[in-house]
Amino acid sequence: MALHLNTNAAYKDFQMLRNDRYFVDKSAMIEKVSGRVKTKNRFLCVMKPRRFGKTSALNMLGAYYGKACPTGELFEGLAVSGSRSYEEHLNQYNLISLTLNELPDRGTLMRII
């Protein structure tokens, strides 16, 4: 298990996705998520079947909201760049990345502090 604060992993992954030949702009969802920031309904649960873009969507959100590096150039020309709250939330938040893909070996004691 890996736990990181403000890494540029989401930025790098979204940058590769953005540069892909078959990129589909789904950044309009950022405006919907931004409407929930600092409200009681700020927590999200992303549930979709396998291979439906959960990781891609989370990398996009991480690149947009995270403080790790400036990402304005990645979002230029996308749907979210026309949003009223675009600059208000861009790169303004600490991002915690928790990866469960890499679990420790059997018999290894794992402790989270």
**Average pLDDT in the chain:** 87
In a domain, 55, yes or no: yes
In a domain, 111, yes or no: no
Render pLDDT for 69-79 as a digit per residue (tens, 0 to 9): 999 999 999 99
**pTM (two decimals):** 0.82
**pLDDT-wise least confident of 73-82, 84-93, 100-109:** 100-109
Render pLDDT for 11-30 as a digit per residue (tens, 0 to 9): 999 999 999 999 999 999 99
In a domain, 109, yes or no: no
| Closest to 10 in 3D by CA, of 102, 96, 101, 78 | 96
In a domain, 110, yes or no: no
Instruction: Tell me how many domains the chain contains.
Output: 1
Q: Which domain holds residue 66?
A: 2-99
In a domain, 113, yes or no: no
User: Cα–Cα distance between 29 and 42 in angstroms, integer?
Assistant: 14
Find tokens 């403000």 and name the residue.
Answer: 6
C-beta of residue 29 within 8 angstroms of C-beta of residue 78: no
In a domain, 69, yes or no: yes
Checking if the pLDDT of 110 tops 60, the result is: no
